[in-house]
Structure 1
Amino acid sequence: MTLFPDDDDDNNNGEEPYKHLQEFDVVCNSMKPPGITEEQIKMRAFPFSLKDSAKDWLYYLSPGSITMWDQLKKKFLDKYFPASRAASLRKEICGIKQHPGESLYEYWERYKNLLRRCPQHQISEQLLIQYVYEGLLFRDRSIIDAASGGALMNKIPQEARELIEEMAENSQQFSTREDVPIRKVNEVETPSMQQQLNELTAFVRQLAVRNASQAKVCGICTGICHSADMCPMIQEETAEQVNMADHAPAPRKQYDPYSSTYNPGWRDHPNLSYGGNR
C-alpha cells in the first residue's frame, strides 16, 4: 500500500484521499486476524499508512477526540478533501466535454476518473448520463444514437451506461479516433485550395509580364501608355492648326486688268456688267 501522501503528488490533487482509503480497506480486509474486529484493525493500522505531514496531522489531534473509525475517516477527508475541492470536481463532472481528437474511450475513462475522485458528488445517475452524452462530439454522439436505436436518452440510465461502456471499449480496439487537425489562422485547409491559389498567382504573374512586354514607348514624350502617333502632344498641335484654319480671313479676289484671257473682274465692273444684272 502506498503511504499517504504520495511521493509523486506532494501537493495532493484531491484524488489520493479516497484512493488511499480504498487501498487501506483492501489491505485490512485481507489481513484480518481471528478475534479482532475490522474497526479495531483500522484504528490501529491507519497511523502506519500515513507519513510526513499527514502523520503529523494525526498525532496533533486532541487525545481522546477519535474513538471510532468513521470519525477518523471523516476527519481525514475533511482535512485532505475539503468541500471546495468537492464543488470543483462536481463542476467538472457537470461540464465535461470531449476534446477535439479525443477518442470515445479516452473521453469515457476521463469521465469515470472524475467520478472516482469525487464519489460523494451527489448527482443522480440520470443526470450523469445526460452530462456525458451532451459533452460528446457530434460524430460519436451520432454513432451512439444510431446504436441505441434512436436516442440514447430514451434508455434507462443503466442501459445507457452499458451501451457507452461497450462502444468505448470498441473504440479502443479499433481506434475510432476523430482526428481533428489543429490549424493556424492563415493556414490553407485543403490541398486543392492551395493548388488553386498557386495557379491564380501564376496567372496574375503571366498577365503582368505579358502587359509589360506589349507596352510601347512613345518616341515624342517617352510615355509607355501610347504610341508616337497617338501622343497627346501631336493631338494638341493638330487641334491648334484646325482652330487657326477655321478663323483665318477669306482670300481676296485677284483682278488682273492686263490679263489676255477672261478676267473675272470685268464681270463686276459697272460699265461691263451684263444686261441681266442691271
Structure 2
Amino acid sequence: MRPQGVPEDHVKMKAFPFSLDGVAKDWLYFLPATITTWNQMKRLFLEKFFPASRTAAIRKEICGIRQLNGETLYEYWERFNKLCATCPQHQISEQLLIQYFYEGLTLMDRNMIDAASGGALMDKTPNAARQLISNMAANTQQFGFRGAVKGVNEMAIGAGSSSVCGVDNQRLENKINELTTMVRHLAIEQKQQANAASECPATVCGICSSEEHYTHSCPTLQETDANVSGIYTNQQQQYRLPQQ
C-alpha cells in the first residue's frame, strides 16, 4: 500500500532493488548515482537485459507461434502466456495477441473454440476471448488427457501400417471424447448462467391462483364488476323520479 502523498515513481525506485537477483542485482549496484528517476532506471534496465535484437526475436516468435503436435490446449495456452511474459515491452495489442494464438491452433481445437464462442472467436472482445480460452484451457487440464504416445517399435521403419493406423484412430477417438466432454461442460455452465439470469418469481392471481394472468385481469373480478354495475343501473332506473 502506497503511503499517502508519496509519488508512485518513488515507490517503484525503492521497491525495484528487491525484485532483482544475480547478475541484475550486480548491475544495479554499479549504476552511477545520477540515476534518480524511474524512467531512467526502466530505460537502462531494458537496454541491458532486453536489447532491441532480443525484443524483435521474441516478437517474431509470438507472431508465429503454433500449437505443437500432441500439445493440449492448456499446454499451448500456458506456453503462449509464458512467452509473452518474457518480453513485457513487446508492444503487441491484446487483439493481435489473441489473433496470433488463434491462428496457431490446430484445426480441431480452433473449431472447438469457435463452437464454444457461438460463432467466431475473433468476433468477441479481447477480454471476452481471453476469458473463454482460459476457461476451455482449464477444462482441458481438468478433464482432458493425452493421446497414446507411439513407442519406438511402432515408429520403426517397416512397421505394419495397420499398427500405425490403429494408434492414430485411438488418438483421434481420445481427442473426440475429450472435446465432447469439454463442450458438454461448457454447455451446462452456459445453461446454468442463463437460468440464473432469467429466473424470476411466477405471477400468481390472488383470486383464482392462476399463473396465466395478474390479479387485476382475473375474469372472476371482471364478472363481479359487471354484475355490480348492472345492479346499480337497475336501481337507478327504479328510483328515478318521474319527469314533470
Common fold by TM > 0.5 = yes
CA distance in 2, matches of 1:178, 1:139: 14
CA distance in 2: counterparts of 1:124 and 1:40, whole angstroms: 28
Please tell me whether residue 60 in structure 1 is matched to residue 30 in structure 2. Answer: yes
Sort the Cα spacing of 1:188 and 1:141 in 2 relative to 1 into closer, same or farther, 3 A: farther
Q: CA deviation at 1:141?
A: 1.4
Distance 1:67 1:180, change over 3 A: same
Aligned to 2:158: 186
Change (3 A) 1:139 1:176: farther
In structure 2, what residue type is equivalent to 1:129?
I
Q: What is the percent sequence identity of the aligned residues?
A: 58
Q: Find the partner of 2:63 among 68, 72, 94.
A: 94
- How far is 1:184 from its partner? 4.3
Q: Once the 2 structures are TM-superposed, how far is the Cα of residue 127 of structure 1 from its aligned partner?
A: 1.9
The answer as to 2:79 corresponding to 1:113 is no
Q: 1:89·1:118 contact (CA, 8 Å) conserved in 2?
A: yes
What is the alpha-carbon distance in structure 2 between the residues aligned to residue 156 and residue 54 of structure 1?
38
| Paired residues of 1:101 and 1:179 also in contact (CA < 8 A) | no
Q: Which structure 2 residue ranges, 5 or more long, are not aligned?
A: 167-244
Q: Which runs of 5+ in 1 are unaligned?
A: 1-28, 195-278
Q: CA deviation at 1:176?
A: 4.6
Which one-letter code corresponds to 2:141 in the other structure?
Answer: Q
Look up the equivalent residue of 2:58 and give its one-letter code: L
Per the alignment, residue 134 of structure 2 pairs with 165
TM-fit CA distance, 1:36: 5.9
> For residue 160 of structure 1, what is the amino acid of its counterpart?
A
Is contact 1:47–1:58 with CA below 8 Å preserved after alignment? Answer: yes
Tell me the number of residue pairs that the alignment of Structure 1 and Structure 2 aligns.
163
2:105 aligned residue (117, 132, 136): 136
Q: Residues 192, 54 of structure 1: CA spacing in aligned structure 2 closer, same or farther, 3 A cutoff?
A: closer
Work out the CA distance in 2 between the residues paired with 1:193 and 1:133.
29
Does the CA contact (< 8 Å) of 1:104 and 1:171 recur in 2? yes
2:56 and 2:44 mapped to 1: Cα distance? 18
Task: Output the aligned Cα RMSD.
Answer: 3.0
Letter in structure 2 aligned against 1:190: S
Could you tell me the TM-score, scaled by structure 2's length? 0.56
The correspondence of residues 194-273 of structure 1 with structure 2, limited to 5 A, is none
SS of the residue corresponding to residue 54 of structure 2 reads helix
Residues 83 and 42 of structure 1: is their aligned pair in 2 closer, same or farther, counting only changes over 3 Å?
same
Matched-pair contact (CA < 8 Å) for 1:103–1:178: no
Map Cα deviations across residues 18-55 of structure 1 (whole Å, 9 max, x no partner).
xxxxxxxxxxx5xx668865544544554465455434
AA matched with 2:84: L
* 1:177-223 CA distance string (max 9 Å, x none): 455647345333433989xxxxxxxxxxxxxxxxxxxxxxxxxxxxx
Q: Is the 8 A contact 1:100 1:178 kept in 2?
A: no
TM-score of the pair, normalised by structure 1: 0.50
Of the three residues 71, 76, 81, the one matched with 2:45 is: 76
Instruction: Evaluate the alpha carbon distance shift between residue 163 and residue 52 of structure 1 in structure 2; reply closer, same or farther with a 3 A threshold.
Output: closer
Where is the helix percentage greater, Structure 1 or Structure 2?
A: 2
CA 52–146 in structure 1, closer or farther in 2 if over 3 Å, else same: closer
